[in-house]
């Protein structure tokens, strides 16, 4: 979407409200949806762990990400 497309329907000097022009809605992308699911699962699992076990899990995840991220 180009800025000129956004400005096409705007009248100078007029005040617009949400009723006149609703705010933008950003659709989450496929990657964002999967990322949020993974983070949600990690949070759910880590809540069930003791502090020591949660620390060990985070350490193992850091090692895994460092090996698998390009």
Distance of alpha carbon 63 from alpha carbon 40, whole angstroms: 20
Instruction: Tell me the C-alpha to C-alpha distance, in Å, between residue 30 and each of 4, 7, 40.
Output: 28, 29, 15
In angstroms and rounded to an integer, the radius of gyration of the C-alpha atoms of the chain is: 22
- Taking the model in full, what pTM does it have? 0.49
pLDDT tens per residue, range 10-69: 888 888 888 887 777 667 788 888 999 999 999 999 899 999 999 999 999 999 988 987
Q: How confident is the model at residue 70 (pLDDT cuts 50, 70, 90)?
A: low
């Amino acid at each position: 979407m180009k800025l000129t497309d956004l400005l096409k329907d705007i009248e100078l000097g007029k005040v617009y409200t949400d009723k006149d022009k609703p705010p933008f809605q950003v659709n989450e992308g496929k990657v964002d949806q999967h990322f949020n699911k993974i983070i949600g699962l990690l949070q759910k699992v880590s809540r069930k762990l003791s502090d020591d076990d949660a620390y060990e899990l985070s350490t193992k995840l850091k090692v895994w990400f460092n090996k698998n991220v390009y």
